[in-house]
Amino acid sequence: MKIEHARRPLAVALLAVLLTALMLMAFMVRPASAETNTGATTASITSGVKITKVLYNPDGNELYAPNGEKVSIKNVSRRTKNLQGVVLSDDDGHAYRLPYYNLSAGSTVVVRSGSGERRYGVLYAGWNTAVWNNTGDVARLKASSGTLIDRCTWGSSSGTTAYC
């Protein structure tokens, strides 16, 4: 009997670890139906998100530190928007297709030009070079269908940031 009682705590501990692992996996894996379960708008976004700011000339040399360049995208609607498939692009052909990302109403996500580990509120385009021209450029958001959602334009100036 003592042997069985000694195994019971081990079995309970293993079961707890297994259940914890399954719960973590459920949060990490997003089935196709997950969009509807979160209340996020999953159809091709054509409105409700805006480019609010482009930091195109950060301190230092952005050629060697491209994560200084960043574009802020805000959900100005009253509903969560899933940004999957939305494309952020410039005049020179750089294009970043946003991943599955639920942006809640009123929230902002920052897209940095370089690489890094995705976290809440920050995405990385992976261009690994300066993209946004200091002498003038256009940042565009397009739906996966190609429909223009928003754009932010700046001209040549001695500035660092475009507020849109």
Same domain flag for 18 and 68: no
Question: Count of domains in the chain?
Answer: 2
Residue 62 falls inside a structural domain: yes
Of 164, 163, 27, 35, which Cα lies nearest the Cα of 99? Answer: 35
pLDDT for the residue numbered 9:
59
pLDDT for the residue numbered 45:
80
Of 123, 125, 71, which Cα lies nearest the Cα of 102? Answer: 123
Residue 44 falls inside a structural domain: no
Residue 36 falls inside a structural domain: no
Name the strand (E) or helix (H) holding 38.
Answer: helix 34-38
Query: Tens digit of pLDDT per residue, the chain (164 long)?
Result: 454 555 555 555 554 544 454 443 433 333 332 333 345 554 558 899 999 999 999 998 888 899 999 999 999 999 999 999 999 999 999 999 999 999 999 999 999 999 999 999 999 999 999 999 999 999 999 999 999 999 999 997 778 999 99
Same domain flag for 6 and 67: no
Same domain flag for 67 and 126: yes
Name the strand (E) or helix (H) holding 12.
Answer: helix 2-28
Residue 76 falls inside a structural domain: yes
Which structure tokens are listed for 61? 């040399």
pLDDT for the residue numbered 120:
93
pLDDT for the residue numbered 93:
94
Same domain flag for 159 and 79: yes
Of 19, 24, 79, 70, which Cα lies nearest the Cα of 49? Answer: 79
Residue 43 falls inside a structural domain: no
Pairing mode, if any, of strands 87-89 and 137-142? antiparallel
State which residues form the domain around 155. 49-163
Same domain flag for 69 and 16: no
Same domain flag for 130 and 78: yes
pLDDT for the residue numbered 156:
79
Residue 148 falls inside a structural domain: yes
